[in-house]
Amino acid sequence: MAAPIATHILPETANISTWGRLFVGGLDVAAIAEEYGTPLFVYDEYHLRKRCQEAVSSFGTGVAYASKAFLCAAMAKLAYEEGMHIDVASSGEAYVALRAGVPADLLVFHGNNKSTAELTYALEHNFGRIVVDSFDELERLRRLANYGHARPKVLLRLTPGVEAHAHEYVSTGQEDSKFGFSIKSGAALEAIVQCRAETSGVQLMGIHAHVGSSVTAIESFEKVVAVMASFFVPLGLPELVIGGGLAAPYMNDDVNVSIRDWAAAVKSAATRAGISSSVVLSAEPGRAIVANAGLTLYRVGTIKDLPDVRTYLSVDGGMSDNIRPALYGAQYEAFLPRAADAERTKPFRIVGKHCESGDIIVRDAWLPEDTVVGDVLCTPATGAYGYAMASNYNKLPRPAVVFVNDGRTQLVVRRESYEDLLRNDIF
């Protein structure tokens, strides 16, 4: 048995009518599913803008939206309009941001294996920052400078040796990591020396660390700042970026740490560690901007009751629109937008339509007793790393994405067609 869905995991404008129907952006959510079909990603535009504004007011200019969490032209444009820089982790992400009208000098280019072609692309467009991740990359940049390219402004990504208490697949701050230069091994210092050499081909602006994702413990960030400070302060560099990683609430009982509180903790840890107030201290939140702004809507297609085992409820999407439960054991709530205030009294396992038993959306869900085939079902807090990690597995077309605001819908990514599934095939 589970209580009705908690409002702190829903988008900001979520509101439940006296008949129990969920409204977001002033619109009846189940009706949006009728209009656009399912599966469907719905984002509350007001929520997205508020989170971007909060990031900018808490960290100041230079705070970047980690676009890997959710990127399409409309999202890049929105984050830019709200004053954010954009963190891109490939030249594909950069291409989308540039096409959406984001100026290149607001792009922060990440990646542990940027190719010479990608680096050339970044130099030709004058990306704002390149976050250098390896000696090989430094060597590539040095050679490109020799060929006459401008010397880019760079940050060095460091491995502070801090465990973030996150899932192994999204932990990056520990010594055993493919990312960054280790402080402990001396690689970080060696990289600084190389950057400062006359012939380096780069302008060193500062250092960067990202210790993991879905981090709930603010102390982990405070620890990173302390470790980074002892390395950073003697260098006298102007910029320090502490990455992203702030968790978002997925389940009714999850706590919600705001971007404002996160920034305040990071800033006071920096002051305690002796980092001068003239240093530009910044971050790159992804999940904290988009996770709770988004919802996924599915249609219930099959309910299979296995006596003395469990009841399987199948929806019309699955691991192709949300791989997170299969990949990280991620947990989600589920509810019916037509009865958002209802007690959820019946246990179900919510599964997708893919041909794998691991295709689970919610392992142990509770839904109202009267849930039936044909209902629209909602999993909230799917705005981060849902659409971004979607695939065409089993040749399912990827869902559409709709922004809602002030009683209006805006289709920002159309649903893929069967023809799209063949667009790269050569007959």
Query: Minimum distance from CB of 45 to ligand LLP (Å)?
Result: 19
- Choosing from 30, 155, 246, 263, the residue that interacts with ligand LLP (CB under 6 A) is 246
52, 72, 355, 378: the catalytic one is 355
Regarding 121 and contact with ligand LLP (CB under 6 A), the answer is no
- Choosing from 58, 171, 194, 214, the residue that interacts with ligand LLP (CB under 6 A) is 214
CB atoms inside a 10 Å sphere around CB 101: 11
Regarding 39 and contact with ligand LLP (CB under 6 A), the answer is no
Please list every residue from 47 through 86 that binds ligand LLP, using CB under 6 A. Answer: 66, 68-69
Name the phi and psi angles at 33, rounded to 5: -65, -40
Encoded one letter per residue, x for contact with ligand LLP by CB under 6 A and - for no contact, window 289-328 reads -----------------------------------x----
Q: CB-wise, 324 or 338, nearer to ligand LLP?
A: 324
Distance CA 102, CA 124 (A): 15
Choices 34-42, 114-122, 239-247, 373-381 (CB under 6 A): range interacting with ligand LLP: 239-247
Calculate helix-pair angle for 259-272, 45-59, nearest 10 degrees. Answer: 10
Regarding 287 and contact with ligand LLP (CB under 6 A), the answer is yes
Query: Minimum distance from CB of 17 to ligand LLP (Å)?
Result: 32
DSSP H/E element including 138: helix 135-146
The secondary structure of residue 227, as a DSSP letter, is: H
Active-site residue flag, 355: yes
Q: CB-wise, 152 or 285, nearer to ligand LLP?
A: 285
Which residues make Cβ contacts (< 8 Å) with residue 286, sequence separation at least 6?
A: 65, 66, 67, 68, 69, 70, 87, 213, 244, 384
Please list every residue from 156 through 195 that binds ligand LLP, using CB under 6 A. Answer: 170
Regarding 93 and contact with ligand LLP (CB under 6 A), the answer is no
Regarding 285 and contact with ligand LLP (CB under 6 A), the answer is yes
Tell me the one-letter amino acid at 339: A
Long-range Cβ pairs for the range 46-49 (8 Å, 24+)? 46/11, 46/12, 46/13, 46/405, 46/406, 47/11, 47/12, 47/13, 47/292, 47/293, 48/75, 48/78, 48/289, 48/290, 48/293, 48/403, 49/78, 49/82
Tell me the one-letter amino acid at 225: V
- Choosing from 152, 161, 286, 337, the residue that interacts with ligand LLP (CB under 6 A) is 286
Q: Interface with ligand LLP by CB under 6 A: which residues?
A: 66, 68-69, 87, 110, 170, 210, 213-214, 243-246, 284-288, 324, 384-385
